């Protein structure tokens, strides 16, 4: 029985999964569960988990599966995920995908897997131009969404570039994506869960496309309102 909705957003780093997941959570009333964000929070606060993840994170490598899987399991048990979740950045390999199947099996499993497609050169440009505010985490892009000055427009905080957004690490992240994560396209396609979304275009255009695909899959049938 599917009493919860689990969405998995697939796509290369920089394809826009996080941005779309953030918008989607308001529309669907489901929380965004971003493993990258959970790691960044733990790195910033230098928790045990953060210290463990640091070296992998900085190189653009995957944090070991047992750590990541346990972390997601705990997150999905939290109260705000009682109706399901939008997973962004997890799973990233077949072991994680199988673990997610087990975690969600009692609730009908994963419902739909939107795959955001974008060319590598666009992805690279998007990632290397990304800047974040150290205080409020607002995201900018030096070309596509620049701040008005040198500081954060919202809070005046310092802007910085994520270590793993630097050009030398981005190549490795793309390599890791093709080697480890892209097999998930076939995995979810075979289960009939994959829907493709064109990642070129404005944030709003992509969101509308995504909502259209979800509506076609009856994601709103669980009583949630999907407004396109």
Question: Could you tell me the smallest distance in angstroms from the CB atom of residue 51 to ligand AMP?
Answer: 14
Where along the sequence are the contacts to ligand AMP (CB under 6 A)? 13, 35-36, 39, 56-57, 60-63, 68, 89-90, 92, 96, 164, 173
Q: For residue 103, what are its two tokens?
A: 């975690």
Q: Which of 13, 114 has the CB closer to ligand AMP?
A: 13
Question: Could you tell me the smallest distance in angstroms from the CB atom of residue 173 to ligand AMP?
Answer: 5
Beta bridge partners of 131: 140
Q: Which of 55, 218 has the CB closer to ligand AMP?
A: 55
Q: Which of 31, 89 has the CB closer to ligand AMP?
A: 89
Q: Which of 3, 49 has the CB closer to ligand AMP?
A: 49
Q: Which residue is nearest to ligand AMP (CB)?
A: 36
Question: Could you tell me the smallest distance in angstroms from the CB atom of residue 16 to ligand AMP?
Answer: 12
Q: Which of 111, 165 has the CB closer to ligand AMP?
A: 165
Q: Order of strands, edge to edge, in the sheet holding 5-9?
A: 5-9, 84-88, 32-34
* Catalytic residue (choose from 40, 92, 126, 131): 92
Q: For residue 119, what are its two tokens?
A: 């060319």
Helix (H, G, I), strand (E, B) or coil at 146: coil
| Cis preceding linkage at 40, omega within 30 | no
Neighbours of 56 (CB within 10 A): 16
Q: In angstroms, what CA-CA distances link 187 with 11, 64, 98?
A: 14, 21, 10
Question: Could you tell me the smallest distance in angstroms from the CB atom of residue 227 to ligand AMP?
Answer: 27
Question: Could you tell me the smallest distance in angstroms from the CB atom of residue 73 to ligand AMP?
Answer: 12
Q: Of 161, 155, 120, 124, nearest to 140 (Cα)?
A: 161
DSSP string, 15-41: SSHHHHHHHHHHHHT--EEEHHHHHHH
Q: Is 162 among the residues known to form the active site?
A: yes
Q: Is 173 among the residues known to form the active site?
A: yes
* Catalytic residue (choose from 4, 17, 126, 131): 17
Q: For residue 209, what are its two tokens?
A: 């496309």
* Catalytic residue (choose from 162, 213, 217, 224): 162
Neighbours of 136 (CB within 10 A): 11
Q: Is 131 among the residues known to form the active site?
A: no
* Catalytic machinery residues: 17, 92, 130, 162, 173
């Amino acid at each position: 029985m599917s009493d919860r909705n689990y969405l998995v957003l697939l796509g290369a780093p920089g394809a826009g999964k996080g941005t779309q997941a953030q918008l989607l959570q308001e529309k669907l009333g489901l929380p965004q569960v971003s493993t990258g964000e959970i790691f960044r929070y733990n790195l910033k606060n230098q928790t045990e988990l953060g210290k463990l993840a640091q070296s992998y994170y900085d190189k653009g490598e995957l944090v070991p599966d047992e750590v990541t899987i346990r972390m997601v399991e705990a997150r999905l048990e939290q109260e705000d995920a009682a109706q399901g979740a939008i997973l962004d950045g997890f799973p990233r390999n077949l072991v994680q995908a199988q673990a997610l199947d087990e975690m969600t099996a009692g609730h009908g499993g994963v419902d739909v897997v939107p795959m955001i497609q974008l060319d590598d050169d666009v992805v690279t440009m998007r990632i290397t131009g990304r800047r974040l505010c150290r205080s409020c985490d607002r995201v900018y892009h030096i070309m596509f969404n620049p701040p008005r000055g040198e500081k954060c427009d919202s809070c005046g905080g310092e802007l910085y570039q994520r270590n793993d957004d630097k050009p030398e690490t981005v190549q490795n992240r793309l390599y890791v994506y093709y080697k480890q994560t892209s097999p998930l396209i076939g995995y979810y396609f075979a289960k009939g869960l994959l829907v493709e979304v064109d990642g070129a275009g404005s944030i709003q255009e992509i969101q509308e496309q995504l909502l259209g695909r979800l509506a076609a899959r009856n994601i709103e049938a669980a009583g949630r309102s999907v407004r396109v």
